[in-house]
Amino acid sequence: MLFLAGCAHRRPAAAGIPQLGAAGQRVPAGTYVEQGVASWYGYPFHGRRASDGERFDMNKLVAAHRTLPFGSVVQVVNLNNGRRTEVRIIDRGPFVEGRLIDLSFAAARTIDMVGTGIAPVRLELLSSPSPLAGPFTVQVGAFQQRRNAERLKAQLMASYPVFIQDYDAPAGRFYRVRVGRLPNERAAQQLAVQLAKERGFQTFVLRLDELR
């Protein structure tokens, strides 16, 4: 069994989350900004399906983010050296506490962070194909054995709406236990804090994508 969790670190620039319109609509500068730690990934994920269904190509300027809509374009600035790149969000993650975005190898190379593995970054949303509103959910665990995921689901479902999503990873198939369907990120963050306080979970707030 493998249990994966961590605290979500989110900091939109504005108090209200804007509603974006048509596909690829540009966002006014400074509308949505985050600052945190970036990591990168390549092999053995190269060639595997990303969360949006396309094949992850580590040589393209793409990235994983927990809550931005698929197809969003963000500018990422390495705060150590000022180098920047633009990436398209195609995947969910990173599922490591304190990480903000997971860049492809090509994107990491562009901002010169391959060698360090991680770097402090500033992320700014440039465009999005869909509104930034929900729904959102809270991930409380990921297991290699479905029975363990079902056990956790059974423990929680008397108090919360709970569901399981499965996905393929280099280490095999994993089963993600997720709680709730929240209309906005603020409500999801509140639920995440509640679950951490009541149950001792480390949690991730995620955009609730279509079940696969």
What pLDDT is attached to residue 28?
67
**Of the residues 83, 112, 128, the one at which a domain ends:** 128
What pLDDT is attached to residue 212?
46
What pLDDT is attached to residue 6?
33
- Structural domain span for residue 114: 25-128
- 96 plus 161 within the same structural domain: no
Q: How far is the C-alpha of 210 from the C-alpha of 74, rounded, in Å?
A: 22
What pLDDT is attached to residue 29?
66
What pLDDT is attached to residue 105?
98
Averages of pLDDT over each 10 residues, the chain, 212 residues = 34 38 60 94 90 93 96 97 98 91 98 97 94 90 94 94 84 87 94 92 90 48
Number of folded domains that form the chain: 2
What pLDDT is attached to residue 18?
39
Q: How far is the C-alpha of 51 from the C-alpha of 168, rounded, in Å?
A: 10
- 95 plus 46 within the same structural domain: yes
